[in-house]
Amino acid sequence: MGFEKDEQGRVGVPGFRSVLDEAEPFEIGALSGVQATPFYRGYIRDESLLRGDESRVYRTTEVHIVAKTPAGRWVGIECDSGTPDNSVHCESVVPRVARSLRFVK
């Protein structure tokens, strides 16, 4: 899921320019664990894809979650917010996905 530990012992996911986005507690329904939301910067290489005076640079955010189930199994959830033309609202999607999971013993 991309989680790493840095020299100071902090756990998180590296994002833009390898800056560590520190993990925070995550709990929804029966799942509990940690989440990190690093951001990245993207560059559009093909200028013909740009409209008007649109910037070649865009920013995207990812949500990385590692959580434990009641049965002691680990689950990973990742959501990429996408590009400006094809975006996903991870703050809405991730809780829905987490609550929809069913665990069979």
Amino acid at 17: R
Q: Read off the pTM.
A: 0.81
Q: Cα–Cα distance between 82 and 70 in angstroms, integer?
A: 31
Q: For the chain, give every domain's residue range.
A: 4-45+53-100
Beta strands in 1-105 (DSSP E): 4-5, 11-14, 20-22, 24-28, 31-36, 39-43, 57-68, 74-80, 82-83, 86-87
Written as tens digits, the pLDDT of the chain (105 aa) is: 899 999 999 999 999 999 999 999 999 988 999 999 999 988 888 888 888 888 888 888 999 999 999 889 999 999 999 877 788 999 999 999 998 988 776
DSSP single-letter state for residue 87: E
How would you classify the pairing of strands 82-83 and 31-36?
A: unpaired
53/76 Cα distance (integer angstroms): 39
